[in-house]
Structure 1
Amino acid sequence: MSLFITSLNSGSNGNCYYVGNDQEAILVDAGISCRETEKRMARLGLPMSKVKAIFVSHEHSDHIRGIPVLAKKFNLPVYITPGTLLHLGNTVDAKLIHHLREFETVTVGQLEVTSFPKEHDASEPHSFIVNCNDIKVGIFTDLGIVCDRLIRYFSQCHAAFLEANYDEVMLDTGGYPYHLKRRIRGGKGHLSNKQALALFTTHRSAHMTHLLLSHLSKNNNDPKLVEELFTACADGVHIVVASRHEETPVYLIDGNQGKTLEVLGQLDLGFN
């Protein structure tokens, strides 16, 4: 069974990633409003009825801002670590809360979602890999370093959302104060273009078909620069730079190296 993926928004102004098959889907993070989430999914032909759960990577507002309204309106289970939940507070009905633990695999229909710890300046930050019939999609953002766990899971992926947050020269010469620059590159902040590219070129699998570069800094990166950098090393992998202003197209991930579906509307799958 194929997987369909899209970034509904990616950046410090809000993050929300969709992964699903033709029966069910999950959201990883919901950092944009419920209304905006619905609008963007509708434009893509993705009905909210297919979303069965929200998985939360960590507690920063650009990842959780939309969860309370979205979970309440659509009665969605929220998978979240106990430490992260402390920061979300009592804004979500306790009946919808499911505690998430590291390396735990949660089954949502035919989707298997595995969480694992990452290095970031948050309480209990986690990344995720979604598996459906051995088609695997990773969601890897807000990463301080490329750790062994990240390498292990990234190397399994047919597609991935991977952070490429900042260009090192732009960060060094930009206007951020020293303490913020140190935080970004300090091992629990964000991944640079150079670090992300090294992970991609060294550890991508032979069956990877799509890479969605995510969480680009507004001030310390340039989408065109990132696209050119990764495209030069793509070797057949479809490179997408996820926007901080709008949704990407929906991409079909089916394990076929030669097949790319950029717009869901090209297939009649009954999503509308």
Structure 2
Amino acid sequence: MSLQIASLNSGSNGNCYYVGNETEAVLIDAGISCRETEKRMRRLGLSIEKVKAIFISHEHGDHISGVAVLAKRYALPVYITAQTFRHGRILMKQEETLSFVAHQSVAIGSLKVTAFPKFHDASDPHSFMVSCGEVNVGVFTDLGVCCDQLVAHFKQCHAAFLEANYDVEMLANGSYPYHLKKRISGGEGHLSNTEALQLFLEHRPPYMSHLLLAHLSKNNNDPQLVENLFNNHAGNTKIVIAGRYKETEVYHITHNGAPAAFVPNNVVPRVTLQQLTPKKLLVKKHQHQLSLF
């Protein structure tokens, strides 16, 4: 068994990630136009006819702007939670969508898509694990916190899309107003390069073949800086920067002596404030989010 993966676009201007096998595929988020999605898939030699479903992580425009047209044109089911649909104002009827439940897998042919909650300033945000047989690919972006659930899933990935949104110094010294800097670096914002690297260094499984660094900030990051930072520690893992203007190559992810197939874990330890870094203690201001974990 193997999976093909590609980023069609990644950044605040739109996010869309392709994961599939020989017969079916899913899109995680649809934040670029239907026309751009079609164009980029054609350039990669990927058939949109293989796409069988779209999964939406949260309601921000850079993750949903293309979903209504894409779903209508290709009669694709859209998996989205009720809260995300309600806050997203998508030009679809809710009865035209399907919901998903955290930690419960959705079968799309031989693919298995499993969501789990994350910290982000959205109504009901989720990350995803896409599995086929014993091959696991994670889609982990828009993360305020490296919580225990993220760690547990990351440890099972043969490949992952992982957010590396900002360089700490570039954000601190940049032109953004204080409230926006606080939002980005806070407990419901985004992961910095160093936080993403720490997750990679401490929890990368030995069989992780590819890491696609995603959702880089246009103003507060530098692709070459990020690539150099991770390549210094990459070992046998190929580091790829998922760009905001162009699709990546298609990468083939195979089983490399990893553990048994991914099984959703409903008893992942609950995240506690004591387990978070000082930065993440900002989450104390949002106690309602802790009920997700």
Q: Match for 2:48: what amino acid?
A: M
What is the deviation of 1:104?
1.7
What is the deviation of 1:91?
1.4
What is the deviation of 1:245?
0.2
2:39 paired with 1:39: yes
Alignment: residue pair count: 257
Sequence identity, in percent?
Answer: 62
Q: 2:98 aligns to what SS in structure 1?
A: strand
- Extract unaligned runs of 5+ from structure 1: 258-272
Q: Match for 1:26: what amino acid?
A: V
- Determine the structure 2 residue equivalent to 1:24: 24
Does the 8 Å CA contact 1:76/1:96 hold for their aligned counterparts? no
Shifted more, 3-12 versus 81-90: the winner is 81-90
What is the deviation of 1:87?
2.2
2:202 paired with 1:202: yes
Work out the CA distance in 2 between the residues paired with 1:142 and 1:88: 16
TM-score by length of 2: 0.86
- Determine the structure 2 residue equivalent to 1:261: none
- Determine the structure 2 residue equivalent to 1:62: 62
Work out the CA distance in 1 between the residues paired with 2:13 and 2:90: 23
Q: Match for 2:83: what amino acid?
A: G
Work out the CA distance in 1 between the residues paired with 2:236 and 2:90: 46
- Determine the structure 1 residue equivalent to 2:274: none
- Structure 1's consecutive aligned runs of 4 or more residues displaced over 3 angstroms after TM superposition are 93-96
Let me know the Cα RMSD of the aligned residues. Answer: 1.0
Work out the CA distance in 1 between the residues paired with 2:132 and 2:8: 21
Work out the CA distance in 2 between the residues paired with 1:87 and 1:174: 30
What is the deviation of 1:65?
0.1
Q: Match for 1:137: what amino acid?
A: V
Q: Match for 2:108: what amino acid?
A: V
Structure 1 residues 199 and 90 mapped into 2: Cα distance closer, same or farther (>3 Å)?
closer
Q: 2:103 aligns to what SS in structure 1?
A: coil
- Determine the structure 2 residue equivalent to 1:225: 225
Work out the CA distance in 2 between the residues paired with 1:37 and 1:232: 33
Work out the CA distance in 2 between the residues paired with 1:197 and 1:223: 14
What is the deviation of 1:217?
0.2
TM-superposition CA deviations, 1:42-71 (whole Å, max 9, x none):
000111100000000000000000000000
Does the 8 Å CA contact 2:85/2:94 hold for their aligned counterparts? no
Shifted more, 248-257 versus 108-117: the winner is 248-257
Q: Match for 1:36: what amino acid?
A: E
What is the deviation of 1:92?
1.9
TM-superposition CA deviations, 1:21-80 (whole Å, max 9, x none):
000000000000000000000000111100000000000000000000000000000000
What is the deviation of 1:256?
3.7
- Extract unaligned runs of 5+ from structure 2: 258-293
Does the 8 Å CA contact 2:210/2:239 hold for their aligned counterparts? yes
TM-superposition CA deviations, 1:246-271 (whole Å, max 9, x none):
100000001248xxxxxxxxxxxxxx
- Determine the structure 2 residue equivalent to 1:246: 246
TM-score by length of 1: 0.93
Q: 1:39 aligns to what SS in structure 2?
A: helix
What is the deviation of 1:228?
0.2
- Determine the structure 2 residue equivalent to 1:255: 255
Work out the CA distance in 2 between the residues paired with 1:192 and 1:41: 29
- Determine the structure 2 residue equivalent to 1:130: 130
Work out the CA distance in 2 between the residues paired with 1:88 and 1:22: 32
Work out the CA distance in 2 between the residues paired with 1:188 and 1:127: 14
Q: Match for 1:174: what amino acid?
A: G
Does the 8 Å CA contact 1:242/1:248 hold for their aligned counterparts? yes
Work out the CA distance in 2 between the residues paired with 1:28 and 1:183: 24
Work out the CA distance in 2 between the residues paired with 1:104 and 1:175: 42
Q: 1:198 aligns to what SS in structure 2?
A: helix
Does the 8 Å CA contact 1:209/1:255 hold for their aligned counterparts? no
Written as runs of structure 1 = structure 2, the 5 A alignment for 1:162-173 is 162-173=162-173
Does the 8 Å CA contact 1:113/1:128 hold for their aligned counterparts? yes
Q: Match for 1:88: what amino acid?
A: G
Work out the CA distance in 2 between the residues paired with 1:167 and 1:126: 24
